[in-house]
């Protein structure tokens, strides 16, 4: 049975999609079978992993609407398997109104979970029905953020939603940790935000991950080439950082 992990933060621009894509690539290099589910109507994760989210293709919108099974939309790429999304997914917020709509994604994932070691979900920067579906279906949440006050505020506002999901829908949901992106230890603000993030993490009975991801041009360039950082610049500092954070998140020891 696959471990289901959602990357989430209602604040945009925190490196959520890049983090999810990069960790998919690292897990594949470690010999794991991985499915990446794109729940963001922008479709950036699909693009970053080499998926095809053309309008004639079936996407997560069709799966969530029950028009096809999740298995029917999965694409096989060089990096991992991808369940793509496109702009049509933005209609789901208005169209998914039936009783039990919070469990639609979980039911779809349960049907294919035995085929993978890990299923990673990228969510939109909003607490929508899509995000709630991801939380209900997940074992773990990973919260990427950058060392800025607004990024921290976005996570603080997520707490009530996480507590509600655990109480009413998914008692096993665990916040695996907070991942700091665009990290620069020389800045005073970085240290201050890191301390505040640690306080919020304690309230959720989790931690800030030891491994941080520093600012890098390579990380920004990789998606434009349809590659993850470990394929685009395998010997870079960023690639090494993502391999380390992947091992830390999933408890994979280095041989």
Query: Strands 3-7, 140-145: parallel, antiparallel or unpaired by DSSP?
Result: parallel
φ, ψ of residue 81 to 5 degrees: the values are -80, 145
Q: What angle do CA 133, 139, 140 make, to 5 degrees?
A: 95
73 to each of 58, 60, 76, 81, 85, how far by Cα in Å?
5, 7, 10, 10, 10
Per-residue confidence band for 19, with pLDDT thresholds at 50, 70 and 90: very high
DSSP 12: S
Supply the mean pLDDT for the chain: 90
Q: Kindly report, residue by residue over 146-177, the tens digit of the pLDDT.
A: 877 776 676 666 888 899 999 999 999 999 99
Q: Kindly report, residue by residue over 211-223, the tens digit of the pLDDT.
A: 999 988 888 888 8
Strand order in the sheet with 118-122: 75-76, 81-83, 34-38, 118-122, 3-7, 140-145, 174-180
Q: What pLDDT is attached to residue 146?
A: 84
DSSP 128: S
pTM attached to this predicted model: 0.93
User: How far is C-alpha 64 from the chain's CA centre?
Assistant: 18
- Residues forming a β-bridge with 180: 145
Q: What pLDDT is attached to residue 154?
A: 62
Q: Kindly report, residue by residue over 30-79, the tens digit of the pLDDT.
A: 999 999 999 999 999 999 998 876 656 899 999 999 999 999 999 999 99
Q: Kindly report, residue by residue over 22-44, the tens digit of the pLDDT.
A: 999 999 999 999 999 999 999 99
Can you tell me the mean pLDDT for 4-28? 92
Can you tell me the mean pLDDT for 190-211? 86
Can you tell me the mean pLDDT for 93-104? 85
Per-residue confidence band for 200, with pLDDT thresholds at 50, 70 and 90: confident
Q: What pLDDT is attached to residue 79?
A: 93
Q: What angle do CA 108, 46, 246 make, to 5 degrees?
A: 85
């Amino acid at each position: 049975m696959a471990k289901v992990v959602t990357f989430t933060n209602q604040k945009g621009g925190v490196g959520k999609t890049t983090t999810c894509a990069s960790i998919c690539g690292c897990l594949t290099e470690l010999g794991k079978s991985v499915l990446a589910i794109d729940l963001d109507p922008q479709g950036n994760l699909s693009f970053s992993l080499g998926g095809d989210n053309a309008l004639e293709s079936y996407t997560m919108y069709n799966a969530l609407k029950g028009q096809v099974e999740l298995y029917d939309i999965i694409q096989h790429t060089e990096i991992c398997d991808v369940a793509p999304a496109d702009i049509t997914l933005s209609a789901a917020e208005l169209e998914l109104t039936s009783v039990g709509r919070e469990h639609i994604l979980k039911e779809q994932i349960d049907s294919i979970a035995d085929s993978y070691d890990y299923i990673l979900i990228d969510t939109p920067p909003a607490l929508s029905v899509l995000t709630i579906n991801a939380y209900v279906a997940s074992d773990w949440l990973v919260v990427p953020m950058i060392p800025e006050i607004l990024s921290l505020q976005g996570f603080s506002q997520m707490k009530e939603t996480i507590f509600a999901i655990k109480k009413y829908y998914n008692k096993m949901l665990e916040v695996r940790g907070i991942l700091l992106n665009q990290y620069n230890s020389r800045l005073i603000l970085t240290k201050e935000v890191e301390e505040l993030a640690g306080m919020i993490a304690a309230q959720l009975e989790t931690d800030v991950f030891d491994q941080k991801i520093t600012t890098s041009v390579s990380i920004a360039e990789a998606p434009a080439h349809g590659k993850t950082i470990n394929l685009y610049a395998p010997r870079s500092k960023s690639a090494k950082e993502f391999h380390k954070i992947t091992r830390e998140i999933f408890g994979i020891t280095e041989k």
